[in-house]
Amino acid sequence: MAEDSPAGSSSPELSPEEEMNIIGATISAAEHQLTVGDTFCLVSRRWLEKWINYTNNKKISTNEGSSSDNQDLNSASTPKRPSSIDNSDLVNESASDNSTMGIELHDTLQENTHYTLLPEQTWNQFCAWYGGGPKLARKAISCGASETELTVEVYPLRLHLHLMPKADQCTIRISKRETIGALHKKACEIFQLNSEKVSIWDYFSHRKHALMNDMDKTLEDANIQMDQDILVEVSDDGGCTSDVQENGFTKNHTSSTLVEPLKTNYSIASKGALRNNNNSELPQIQSLASGIRESEDHKAPPVSVGVSTRGSFGGLTGLLNLGNTCYMNSAIQCLVHTPEFAMYFREDFHKEINWHNPLGMVGELALSFGELLRKLWAPGRTPFAPKQFKAKLARFAPQFSGYSQHDSQELLAFLLDGLHEDLNRVKHKPYFKSKDADGRPDEEVADEYWANHIARNDSIIVDVCQGQYKSTLVCPVCEKISVTFDPFMYLSLPLQSTTTRTMTVTVFSCDGSGVPASCTVTVPKQGRCRDLVQAVSSACGLKQNEKVFLAEIRNHLIHRFLEDPLMSLSSIKDDDHLSAYKIPKSMKNTKFLQLIHRRQELETGNARGTSGWKAYGTPLVFPVSCDATITRGDIQLIVHTMLSPMLKTDTSDLKNVNVEPESDCKENDGPDKPQLKLPLKLVDGNNACIDLSVGEERTVRLPSSSLSVLLFIDWSPKLLQKYETQYLEKLPEVFKTGPSKKARAEPLSLYTCLEAFLREEPLVPEDMWFCPQCKERRQASKKLDLWRLPEVLVIHLKRFSYSRSMKHKLETFVNFPIHDFDLTNYIANKNNSSRQVYDLYALTNHYGSMGSGHYTAHIKLIDENRWYNFDDNHISPINEDEVKTNAAYVLFYRRVRSD
């Protein structure tokens, strides 16, 4: 598959320095003229490194001193000029036999590991000097929300075309930025069809999801994914001849479950500078060369704390699975490869064992763990069976006895706490009474709490793993603020489910400011009612003095008010109907008038054909103060106000009706009274109906037994003609169900998880706080802030949730930093000016379901600067870009020291 031009045939051989300069110039020229459609070529990283070493080392030897020793050394290490370009390691020969696909790449290629992208001019220059190939050209396409950035599409969409009714198949490659029209044309050309008789369908899961008839829409906008099926349907004059099952059109923003293997394409900033995913400029070949030399040196970080972790001296010993003990093996390997623990337990730690701590295990857990650690760091790689350690574990923690699967995080929490108590340097713990802040400076209170904690808890575990956070509680009644500072061993971060759901809510204004309008918002699928309230509030343009009040509507009546902010959104089904009412924030001691609409309908089974009043439409809600005096005329005005946006403007007998809102609901004599009396009936405390169309000056006594007061309005045919009542009649479902693709899971940042953990939230009812000022238990709001961070920060991603009826695991992919996890801005202690930056060195993974899953660990041997996968007794090296998966469960970060 190599190209025909022989190496060096186009020009006389240049010096390495001249080649370097020419290549650098072509890259610089390309960077300044980047546009959509520019061609980039993949070149094998293996071949390019040979060329870089050749040109770089030639250059060094030319500028070295004239010492004979140096000359001998340089001449001995100078690489030869590379042979012709060889991209064969990038090409999937078996897949390239398909004539419609062209040359196919291996699906697992990684940028800057297997290949480098070069501008076409640079590729042409290399070919002129060296020849070879094959040429693997890719186009730059627009990307980003504003489409002002560019990316090189290394892996165009691979689509599987299914021709019906002939049942032919074909696989093609096409850019995701191509239009549906281009796909339609290409399909017709491949199958030699008359384009006028061809329709193409989104054929996800071999079902018709959507007719792709918007010829100008891009495939990306049509949500077409890698390896998706496309139905090419040919119809004759009588119509479609295909009997493929059709599920109808869906507008849901969903995606295929197949994941496009688009590894790490370059993206290009709007200024035109080619950038990679780390936002660093595409290096000139010279700087690329120095980067390669550094990677070959395998240099450790500037400051290395702990023991040597080179595999040749140990650290690559696996643990045999004794029967569902992968949860234990993964947690142990992460602790064993924590440098501070490796150093501590390989030295003489016996003098620190607290033999008499009643909270400890008389030193047996520490001794057993220390012995296990030494075996795992001993030279050699023979797997070890941790039977003795498992026996000790079962003795002191019976919940881990037997051979059932367990949670590795729960085991990790037990080990850290147990090791701390076994190694606690404090033999006699003093007693300290906790003091509230009571207005004292946070720094003073935090230091006091920490000093008291260290006076009782002082061990290698505290030295390495414990931090401190600030906890603020606010009473919702008396607004008492309580501030305490508590230690933590790890952070358990919630995963805001990235598999979102859309929910449609109809918003009503009680002040007559606008007609009802449907509002569709996106909320976490596992979210709570407060998430929906917040989303609707943002979407419907609330005034500063307004809030929304949610209700579920069934059979044209209010079934329930959604008042609990912690209520799970999973209790709201897709075929439910929700309404939201804009009400004033400031009103207190209120009742809600529920305006129920009724109209005459023939009663079922009535032989005489008589009619009765039946509920229809959507109820309206208006808050009224229990402390105000309210008359029948006031209620007439309230209802006129709510209905005023739907009043037809050409209604002659209502032109003079004043519908200005009266928020205080007091008596209102004079010209502000509406002239038309609406047929209103109020249900009193005796469940009797009061006619409000007469006696407008009479005071209404609202029922005291309920927070809601029912108010009926009977819509006669004549009254219906005066209002645009369709706004009340069509209440959409929460989500219009239908055949759809699987919801797209958006990437979730570890920073987002941390922000959710630190967000102020009300306490759950079963965990209410005793307010020292009210002397009662209150559902206070709680806010956590990080105050003091440990040397090793352990982060638990809360993938598992439990309830009485079910167990659930979130498969969410969390994008966690491997390097430079910067927590500086999350520290509430502003007197701490040092940067709080961490690097990842280990993590546990959980694959599969909760009951039958499997645990592994990814661990970095720090002095080797290399990652390994620890799968029980199987240990294998992995690339750093393989560390991040949606199986990540417990993350181990280590502080980066700048000194």
pLDDT in tens, 502-521: 899 999 998 888 899 999 98
pLDDT of residue 371: 93
pLDDT of residue 847: 92
Catalytic-residue membership of 127? no
pLDDT in tens, 850-898: 667 899 999 999 888 899 999 999 999 999 999 999 999 999 999 998 7
Residue 628's nearest CA partner among 582, 588, 578 is 588
Adjacent-strand bridge partners of 519: 505
Give yes or no for residue 146 having a pLDDT over 80: no
664: confidence class by pLDDT, cuts 50, 70, 90: very low
User: How does 51-84 read in b/e, with b if 16+ C-beta sit within 10 Å?
Assistant: bbbbbbbbbebeeeeeeeeeeeebeeeebebbeb
711: confidence class by pLDDT, cuts 50, 70, 90: very high
pLDDT of residue 739: 47
pLDDT of residue 668: 43
Q: Is the peptide bond before 584 cis (omega within 30 degrees of 0)?
A: no
pLDDT of residue 144: 57
Give yes or no for residue 28 having a pLDDT over 70: yes
Phi and psi based region of residue 226 (left: phi greater than 0; alpha: psi -120 to 50; beta: remaining): beta
pLDDT of residue 418: 95
Mean pLDDT of 41-63: 75
Q: Comparing 651 with 530, which gets the higher pLDDT?
A: 530
Mean pLDDT of 343-369: 92
Pairing of strands 517-524, 210-211: unpaired
d(CA 97, CA 88): 14
User: Crossing angle, helix 45-63 and helix 285-297, to 10 degrees?
Assistant: 100
d(CA 296, CA 57): 14
Q: 10 Å Cβ neighbour count for 631? A: 20
Give yes or no for residue 296 having a pLDDT over 70: no
Give yes or no for residue 108 having a pLDDT over 50: yes
pLDDT of residue 605: 57
Give yes or no for residue 401 having a pLDDT over 80: yes
Mean pLDDT of 705-725: 88
pLDDT of residue 747: 66
3-state secondary structure of 810: coil
SS3 of 246-303: the string is ECCCCCCCECCCCCCCCCCCCEECCCCCEECCCCCECCCHHHHHHHHHHHHHCCCCCC
The angle subtended at Cα 598 by Cα 597 and Cα 602, nearest 5°, is 155
Helix (H) / strand (E) containing 752: helix 750-758
- Give me the torsion for CA of 535, 538, 542, 547, rounded to 10°: 30
- Cβ 343 vs Cβ 896: under 8 Å: no
- Percentage above 70 pLDDT, the chain: 78
pLDDT of residue 439: 79
d(CA 551, CA 299): 61
3-state secondary structure of 139: strand
Query: Lowest-pLDDT range, 66-70, 332-336, 536-540, 608-612?
Result: 66-70
Give yes or no for residue 60 having a pLDDT over 90: no
pLDDT of residue 368: 94
Which DSSP string do the residues of 44-79 spell out, in sequence order? EHHHHHHHHHHHHHHHHHHHS---HHHHHHHHHHPP
- Cβ 253 vs Cβ 744: under 8 Å: yes
Q: Comparing 34 with 83, which gets the higher pLDDT?
A: 83
Mean pLDDT of 822-827: 92
**Candidates 170, 188, 326, 519; catalytic one:** 326
- Percentage above 90 pLDDT, the chain: 31
Mean pLDDT of 111-134: 88
Phi and psi based region of residue 198 (left: phi greater than 0; alpha: psi -120 to 50; beta: remaining): beta
Report CA 402 to chain centroid distance, whole Å: 36
Give yes or no for residue 252 having a pLDDT over 70: no
pLDDT of residue 114: 84
Q: Cα dihedral sign for 337, 339, 343, 344?
A: negative
Query: Lowest-pLDDT range, 286-300, 349-363, 748-762?
Result: 286-300
Mean pLDDT of 771-791: 90
pLDDT of residue 807: 64
- Give me the torsion for CA of 169, 175, 181, 184, rounded to 10°: -10
Q: Is the peptide bond before 165 cis (omega within 30 degrees of 0)?
A: yes
Catalytic-residue membership of 143? no
Q: Which residue has the tokens 């000016």?
A: 833
d(CA 134, CA 344): 55
Give yes or no for residue 342 having a pLDDT over 90: yes
610: confidence class by pLDDT, cuts 50, 70, 90: low
3-state secondary structure of 737: coil
Give yes or no for residue 779 having a pLDDT over 50: yes
pLDDT of residue 351: 92
812: confidence class by pLDDT, cuts 50, 70, 90: confident
- Cβ 709 vs Cβ 592: under 8 Å: yes
Mean pLDDT of 342-369: 92
**How does the average pLDDT of the chain come out, rounded?**
79
d(CA 422, CA 357): 7
Adjacent-strand bridge partners of 743: 254
Give yes or no for residue 131 having a pLDDT over 80: yes
Give yes or no for residue 145 having a pLDDT over 90: no
Model-wide pTM > 0.75: no
Q: Comparing 885 with 220, which gets the higher pLDDT?
A: 885
Give yes or no for residue 5 having a pLDDT over 60: no
pLDDT in tens, 613-659: 898 899 999 998 887 888 989 999 999 999 999 998 764 444 444 43
Adjacent-strand bridge partners of 310: none
Mean pLDDT of 744-753: 75
Query: Lowest-pLDDT range, 274-278, 434-438, 486-490?
Result: 274-278
Query: Lowest-pLDDT range, 61-75, 128-142, 341-355?
Result: 61-75
pLDDT in tens, 549-575: 899 999 999 999 998 887 888 888 888
Q: Comparing 48 with 565, which gets the higher pLDDT?
A: 48
Q: Which distant-in-sequence residues (6+ apart) come within 8 Å of 248 by Cβ?
A: 208, 738, 739
pLDDT of residue 251: 38
806: confidence class by pLDDT, cuts 50, 70, 90: low
Q: Which distant-in-sequence residues (6+ apart) come within 8 Å of 63 by Cβ?
A: none
Give yes or no for residue 608 having a pLDDT over 70: no
Q: Comparing 541 with 443, which gets the higher pLDDT?
A: 443
Q: 10 Å Cβ neighbour count for 464? A: 19
Give yes or no for residue 533 having a pLDDT over 70: yes
